[in-house]
Structure 1
Amino acid sequence: MSAGASMDFLRSFASVGYAYDSPRVTVLEDSIKTEKMETNVTEDCKGAKLADVVFIVDESGSIGTSNFRMVRTFLHRIVSSLDVSQKGVHVGVVTYSSMPTAHIYLNTFDDKNEILQFLNILPYQGGGTNTGAALNFTREEIFTEQKGRRKGVQQVAVVITDGESDDNVTEAAAILRRDGVTLYAVGIENANKAELEKMVSYPSHKHV
């Protein structure tokens, strides 16, 4: 579920809907393979060709090595379908468990192949699930002009998580949304759907 942009928004720059609550990451991969683009082109779809998109990826211990490999594949497929360029889509990547880590800032790469190569080796650490801290970190350290945030460009964050957060996500998510970021969530395995719905942009059924 999410809020702000419509479901067509993510479809416009990735061949998959923006938010999912799915028992397995493989379901997400299947939806990428089978999703059909809708014929109606909304304003959100047009805007998606020019966007700053940050993926906030849960790497907690409950994910496990095999599932994290599938998360890498999922990210690889989405980024492959983005119009990544200096004047197009910019991509950032944050992973988090007990603590968040910035791997790619919005101004790190403007070459899609470099991002894809990095995603292939995105490290997995394990640990707790502090989603609220990751949202605050992303707002303070990633969505900044110094790190590549562009004025007048759609700002999008996609949280990928499999479990209930160990900290409070509601306030952190609200602050991030107030900062002009459309927030989507991808729920994997044991994700708390109610928590995801509180996190994402309105209406939640379009962003989770």
Structure 2
Amino acid sequence: MDHLLMLLMLLWSSGLQAEDKHQPTGSQCESTAKANIVLLVCESKNTTSEDHENIKSFLTQVVSNFNIGPDKVQIGLLQCNDRSQTQWDLNAHQTKQSLLEAVANLPQEGGDYYIIGKDLKIIRYEFFQPNAGARSDSQNILILITDEEFRYDVFFSSQDLRDDGIEIYTIGVKNVNEAQLRSIASDPDEIHMFSVIDFSFLLDIVANLTINLCNSANSLGRQRVCYHQTVIHVNTTLICWCQN
């Protein structure tokens, strides 16, 4: 709290004006911990081009909130539909800029149905492997994003990943079966399962998701999460402090 007061006094004395053109969109994860994060993005045939752009905006914000690098956080991505597409492995993009460019160029790959059991096996046996960039001293995390209910029970397929120590987050959009997403997600559900009514609301969960992911990444090391807060004096200023 002393650090916060010092920062507030510094901001006040510097006479910063609130021409704040940037809105607080979430939290930054400041950590030296390593993490292997795989994004499993499931877009149905009903996913519109606008929906896809909202997904990319969401992924851009998530990536922006982490320190990306070979000795930091690495992020891979698999698109699931009737023909699963590996877009990039964990070690494919070693800088944040390269990863953000990959997200910006992410193609829309909607399909008629998902073979989610196969996708989970791809993640287990292909993504979380040393040759794909997975590091043994890093926390393994899966983030599943879907806008449709899966046809088959995926509890046992997801249980294999959880048994391997892979922490699973699920994000449901629109026509999802929340009970199904809870069965896939790691416990507790209130931390690992998110649901929004439309793709345009994905940005609303970035802050909480980042905090939870940061805690997960730091589960093998010391936690250090940075929160954004809006402070109002005469003007509005975006500040940030860290809680150890």
Please give the range of the TM-score, normalised by the shorter of the 2 chains: 0.7 to 0.9
Q: What is aligned with 2:102?
A: 118
| Gapped regions of structure 1 (runs ≥ 5) | 1-31, 38-44
Q: How many residues align?
A: 170
Q: Distance in 1 between matches of 2:32 and 2:44?
A: 30
Alignment of 1:37-56 (within 5 A): 49-56=33-40
Change (3 A) 1:168 1:136: farther
| Gapped regions of structure 2 (runs ≥ 5) | 1-22, 194-244
Look up the SS of the partner of 1:53 in the other structure: strand
Alignment of 1:186-197 (within 5 A): 186-197=171-182
Q: Distance in 2 between matches of 1:97 and 1:54?
A: 16
Query: Between the two proteins, what is the percent identity of the paired residues?
Result: 28
Q: Distance in 2 between matches of 1:170 and 1:36?
A: 31
Q: Does 1:168 align with 2:153?
A: yes
TM-score by length of 2: 0.65
Letter in 2 for 1:149: A
Q: Which has the greater radius of gyration?
A: 2
- Which of 127, 137, 147 is 2:132 aligned to? 147
Shift in Å, 1:180: 1.3
Alignment of 1:80-159 (within 5 A): 80-127=64-111, 128-159=113-144
> Per-residue displacement from partner, 1:43-97 (whole Å, max 9, x unpaired)?
xx78783101111001221222211111011001100111001210011011111
TM-score by length of 1: 0.76
Q: Return structure 1 stretches of 4+ with deviation > 6 angstroms.
A: 45-48
Across the aligned residues of Structure 1 and Structure 2, the Cα RMSD in angstroms comes to 2.0
Look up the SS of the partner of 1:160 in the other structure: strand
Change (3 A) 1:130 1:63: farther
